[in-house]
């Protein structure tokens, strides 16, 4: 098993839910990235999603967009993030997932990017603007480097498309819980529970809910329907406000959901 599979198996063997925090690489400088990854591992995160700053992000809400602009102002690049991950990999054992868009990958060169990601110890890749109909431009390279493509499903996806994406998936299936961009939400669509239960039934791999989740209560609520959660905007906000105890509370909430 790869690191992602091992991490989810350990979590499920302990009857816990997975918690994957999202952080923006370079927000506050790349030294912050190193320190944040080490902190999140110590807190019990299942894996970490690392965002690459990009000038035109289509899936990111205001908090993540602002973090990306701060990171770009610090001079953060895809190459420098991969280099930082490679430096950290000997002391960080949990899975690390890159979230980026196709433009930075094209600029890097698809084969060169995937090879660099593999060398760095990247375990997974999320590309929100890459539909399944076009993913063959990168899949063969990912297979060679054993980097998993984490696919997204949305509330507006048909049952047939949900099933197709789930059957292709490896690592985990990212279930988007809002019809819009990322960002803190006070409440969710009334159909979210049924949507997550349907995905959980269709998917041979773990299903994680993401977008909008920002409180321990929401972590517990979503965890009743699937295998865990991804939390981004709130994690960025709490790091920026230096409220690390609140980050720990979010992660711990995933460990006490009754099965």
Active site residues: 49, 60
**Rounded Cα gap, residues 56 and 47, in angstroms:** 26
Closest CA to 246 of 58, 39, 16: 39
| Paired strand residues for 176 | 210
Instruction: Give me the residue label for tokens 């599979």.
Output: 5
Instruction: Give me the residue label for tokens 């060398």.
Output: 119
Task: Return phi, psi of residue 48, to 5°.
Answer: -130, 130
Q: Measure the CA angle with vertex 127, ends 175 and 146; round to 5°.
A: 95
Q: Is 200 helix (H, G, I), strand (E, B) or coil?
A: helix
**Token reading at 83:** 């280099």
The answer to whether 208 and 226 have CB atoms below 8 angstroms apart is yes
The answer to whether 89 and 122 have CB atoms below 8 angstroms apart is no
| Paired strand residues for 125 | 98, 149
């Amino acid at each position: 098993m790869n690191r992602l599979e091992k991490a989810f198996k350990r979590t499920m063997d302990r009857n816990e839910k997975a918690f994957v925090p999202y952080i923006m690489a370079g927000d506050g400088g790349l030294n912050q990235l190193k320190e944040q990854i080490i902190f999140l591992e110590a807190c019990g995160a299942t894996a970490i999603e690392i965002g690459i700053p990009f000038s035109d992000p289509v899936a990111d809400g205001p908090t993540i967009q602002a973090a990306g602009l701060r990171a770009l102002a610090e001079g953060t690049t895809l190459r420098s993030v991969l280099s930082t991950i490679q430096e950290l990999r000997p002391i960080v054992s949990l899975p690390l997932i890159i979230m980026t868009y196709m433009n930075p990958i094209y600029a890097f060169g698809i084969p060169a990017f995937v090879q660099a990601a593999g060398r760095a110890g990247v375990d997974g890749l999320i590309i929100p603007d890459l539909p399944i109909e076009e993913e063959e431009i990168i899949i063969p390279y990912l297979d060679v480097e054993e980097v998993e493509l984490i696919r997204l499903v949305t509330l507006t996806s048909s049952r047939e498309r949900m099933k197709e994406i789930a059957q292709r998936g490896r690592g985990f299936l990212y279930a988007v819980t809002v019809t819009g961009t990322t960002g803190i939400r006070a409440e969710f669509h009334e159909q979210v529970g049924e949507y997550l239960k349907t995905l959980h039934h269709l998917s041979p791999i773990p299903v994680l809910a993401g977008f909008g989740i920002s409180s321990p209560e929401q972590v517990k609520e979503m965890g009743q329907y699937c295998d865990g959660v991804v939390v981004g905007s709130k994690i960025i906000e709490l790091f920026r406000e230096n409220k690390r105890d609140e980050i720990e509370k979010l992660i711990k909430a995933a460990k006490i959901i009754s099965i």
